[in-house]
Amino acid sequence: MTLTLGLALVVAAAGAVAGALGALLGIGGGVFLVPVLVLGLHLPMQQAAGISLTTVIATSSTVSAGAAGRQLINLRLGMLLEVATAAGGLLGGITAQMLSPVLLQRLFSIVTAGIGLMTLARMHRKNTLEASADPGPWGGRFHDADSGGTVVYRLKRMPLALAGSFLAGNVSTLLGIGGGTIKVPLLTSWCGIPIRVAAATSAFMIGVTATSGAIIYYGEGAILPGYAAAAVLGVRFGSSAGMRLGARLGAKRLKLLLAVVLLLVSVSMAWRTV
Amino acid sequence: MNDDAYSLEMRLGRVLGVGSLVSMVLFAAGLAALFLGAGATLSDALVRAGLVILIGTPFARVVVMTLAYARRGEWRFVAMTGIVLLVLLAGVFVAMR
């Protein structure tokens, strides 16, 4: 499909929403962009995933550049989990070229529905400890906008965090979604990480996860350059709007938004394959 | 957060900020070239250059992290960032086959 000005604007607008979600929830926004490209613009799943991966990288770079220095990105935890996501991501990039588009869409739908429901079920869990608590080697402390004070958090269930990150890397490259959709709910619902830290650390990590897949898609010629350029420019504007909004939303609202986005995306993707 | 971690985080933020800014300028120029009639070849070249820089930016941030941890002698983290670098390089190798 040749890229017209109107089409470029539509793609850029979708990119803006993706960027805002990335800034708010650390999920890269591919989870929103892929359905728009597949359902709205009738691109094949592989091309949609390729374009989406480039926007995930853009989201990650811009959001992390903006969040640097605010104590929300946990670099040590990010690096630990990144080992698992990068390995999973590389594997996903190779297998994505072998699976049928319909199967990929169904997988996408099932994965997002499952995570959305689990996030809702565990929404009221609090992950912050007293400022005097010991954060352990993988935890940290930060200024919590909700309570107005400094809080501490610890990493719980590290093997689960690692296994989930491997899965996140794999599914993310398969589906072009960056993997934050799995990591953020997992880290915040089971592993003791507050939603803001989970989002910022995930936003930081997804660039590398998406890169390990994007390299493969680029090599296969599956990234349409004009579409990717329009989407990435949209991301830039969306993510700065999202960062301003995110500072004002409470942790519970962020979790609810995460769950709603996941369920909506799941339904829209399932719609096409039945 | 101690000063070391803070300065590393700020440095990584700059690497990511500059990389994404340069790629976005190239994307904007590429789309402008396309829609203002400057030619599909020029447009394609600009956008592809932007893509390479965009994809290369997280790569650069892993390299910066590896060097920073090596300088501080935090070998556990050097091992982690090193594995991530190897995985990314393996991706380049697979893509170039």
Q: Chain B partners of A78 at a C-beta cutoff of 8 Å? A: none
What crossing angle do the helices spanning A251-273 and A195-219 adopt, rounded to 10°? Answer: 30
Which pTM does this prediction carry?
A: 0.88
DSSP 8-state assignment for residue A38: I
pLDDT greater at residue A148 or residue A206: A206
Q: Tell me the pLDDT band of B13, cut-offs 50, 70 and 90.
A: very high
B25 touches chain A (CB under 8 A): no
Q: Can you give the pLDDT at residue A1?
A: 57
Interface predicted TM-score (ipTM) over 0.85: yes
Find, in chain A, the residue whose alpha carbon is nearest to that of B59. A208
- CA pair distance A168, A164, nearest whole angstrom: 6
Q: Tell me the pLDDT band of B27, cut-offs 50, 70 and 90.
A: very high
b/e per residue B34-73 (b: at least 16 CB within 10 A): beeeeeeeebeebbbbbbebbbebbbebbebbbebbeeee
A263-268: long-range pairs with CB below 8 Å, 24+: A263/A112, A263/A113, A263/A116, A263/A117, A265/A31, A265/A32, A265/A35, A265/A108, A265/A112, A266/A108, A266/A109, A266/A110, A266/A112, A266/A113, A266/A116, A267/A109, A267/A113, A268/A35, A268/A39
Q: Residue ranges of the alpha helices (H) in chain A?
A: 5-25, 30-35, 45-67, 75-96, 101-121, 158-175, 180-189, 195-219, 225-246, 251-273
Q: Tell me the pLDDT band of A96, cut-offs 50, 70 and 90.
A: low
A216 touches chain B (CB under 8 A): yes
Predicted confidence (pLDDT) per residue in A179-214, tens digit: 788 888 888 888 888 888 998 899 899 888 888 888
Token couple for A65: 């550049």
